[in-house]
Amino acid sequence: MNETQSQPSDAVLRDALRTVIDPEIGLDIVTVGLIYDVELNADVARVTFTLTTRGCPMEQHISQGIVRALSSVPGIASVDLNLVWDPHWHPGMIQEHR
């Protein structure tokens, strides 16, 4: 990233992640509560996320969607995925749809 280019804000990164839809639920992964954290270190975005269940058949779809969405944000050169199972996802984590 060059000196004139500023880092994207957390809101910009989360808005990009809202373009990734969990096809089983039909909502974006931010609204579903799958995104726990997004950190930016220089031009690398590190996303800590979970899935609704271990062995979720949508894991590759969602992971690729995260990489694709964040890679399209100016200033992001690469995306580091951190899939975690703690805390465990539950339906109460779904935010009111906006």
Ranges of each domain in the chain: 10-88
pTM of the predicted model as reported, rounded to 2 decimal places: 0.90
The torsion angles phi and psi of 64, rounded to 5 degrees, stand at -65, -35
pLDDT along the chain (98 residues), means of 10: 68 97 94 96 96 93 98 97 96 82
pLDDT tens string 79-89: 999 999 999 99
* Closest listed residue to residue 40, CA positions, set 90, 85, 6, 63: 6
pLDDT tens profile 68-80: 999 999 999 999 9
CATH architecture of 10-88: 2-Layer Sandwich (3.30)
